[in-house]
Amino acid sequence: MDIDRVYKDIVDQNPYIAAYIMDAQCRLVYVNDTYLKILNMEREDVIGKPILEISPQSRMPAVLESGEPMYGYNWSVNGRNMAASSIPISQEGRIIGVFAYSVFLDILDAKEMLENLLSQVDMYKREISAIHRAKYHFEDLIGNSPEFVNIIKFGRQIAKHPKTTVLITGESGTGKELLANAIHNKSSRARNPFIRVNCAAIPENLLETELFGYEQGAYTGAKKSGKPGKFELAQGGTIFLDEIGELPLNMQSKLLTVLQEHEVERVGGSRPIPLDVRIIAATNQDLNQMVSLGRFRSDLYFRLNVVQLEMPPLRSHKEDIPIIAEHILKKHNCRLRIDLKGIRAGP
């Protein structure tokens, strides 16, 4: 999905929506082309100006103060009648601005245009949800051994703390990604994106733009509209950094900055983008040993290792093999529409 195209279609260049954003100091920091046309003003005459100077009857300061959204009120600017809404923007429990938009349509085609627009929004929401969702839940983690049950119990507790960074360790095939999925789906972030990044699978020269995105003209061949990175796509949700031990040292320092500042800056950009993203990292390597060898930054290791969950290998809880086998059998019976009764051990 082209996120930039979605944004432009719905907000930035939509001739039926006037959109604008005000910061915590009641200054306009964003105005789309449609609102500029309604105001009959240039962008440089609006950006940075107090909202009440541009629109004296604006309800945005009241929304900023109360923290409560206002939907569907009548609004008029330069003789254009609109239905407006103002929604507070929050970060870490603090209101940092207000997003407002107004919809105006000719009376004859208003119903049809509004229905088409809402249908388009729903389509994009469904598509984004299908692409960036966590597939697994704690119910998919099967095992009754005390060691395994303790890990799952701890994982459920950590899920209740949606800002806590988690490091999942364990050998390949022990279910680290399943646990990351389950933590996200059990948390208050479950309705928001779950973005998986395999740090070992992305070429080193593309890692920075994949993680942090880039601005227009950042490099030869870059999209004219720029591109959001994985961290931006995970806004409000979870980013899962798999194989974190494979991250090159130069990228480790940039990831550390993201963890410390809770913001990201696109390649070629000059404006930091605030982030509300939970980070879950996973590795099958001994990061502590890698720190000793100078292959992993100690400060990044301590930032990631806020809570560590170590997934045990199956050989350490062999008693779980029968119930895992039964679970797999039921799953594939359903998927393949067959009725195998059991699994027999070989000689």
User: Digits of tens for pLDDT over the chain (347 positions)?
Assistant: 444 554 555 566 667 788 889 999 999 999 888 888 888 889 898 999 999 998 888 889 999 888 888 888 777 777 777 788 899 998 777 889 999 888 765 443 455 555 666 665 555 555 555 566 788 899 989 999 999 999 999 999 999 999 999 999 999 999 999 999 999 999 999 988 999 999 999 998 889 999 998 887 666 555 666 788 899 999 999 999 999 999 999 999 999 999 999 999 998 887 889 999 999 999 999 999 999 999 999 999 999 999 999 999 999 999 988 888 888 888 878 878 888 777 776 55
The answer to whether 27 and 48 have CB atoms below 8 angstroms apart is yes
Query: Which H or E element spans position 80?
Result: strand 80-91
**Rounded CA separation 330/205 (Å):** 44
Tokens matching residue 97: 């601005």
**Rounded CA separation 209/237 (Å):** 20
The answer to whether 103 and 83 have CB atoms below 8 angstroms apart is yes
pTM above 0.85, yes or no: no
**Rounded CA separation 293/183 (Å):** 31
**Rounded CA separation 14/25 (Å):** 27
Identify the sign of the CA torsion 184, 185, 190, 196.
Answer: positive
The answer to whether 281 and 168 have CB atoms below 8 angstroms apart is yes
Q: Whats the size of the chain, residue-wise?
A: 347
The full set of domains in the chain, from first to last, is: 3-130 (3.30.450.20), 132-312 (3.40.50.300)
**Rounded CA separation 158/333 (Å):** 33
First to last CA, the chain: 51
Q: For residue 210, which phi and psi values (nearest 5 degrees)?
A: -65, -40
- Inter-axis angle of helices 249-261 and 204-212, nearest 10: 10
Tokens matching residue 343: 């699994």
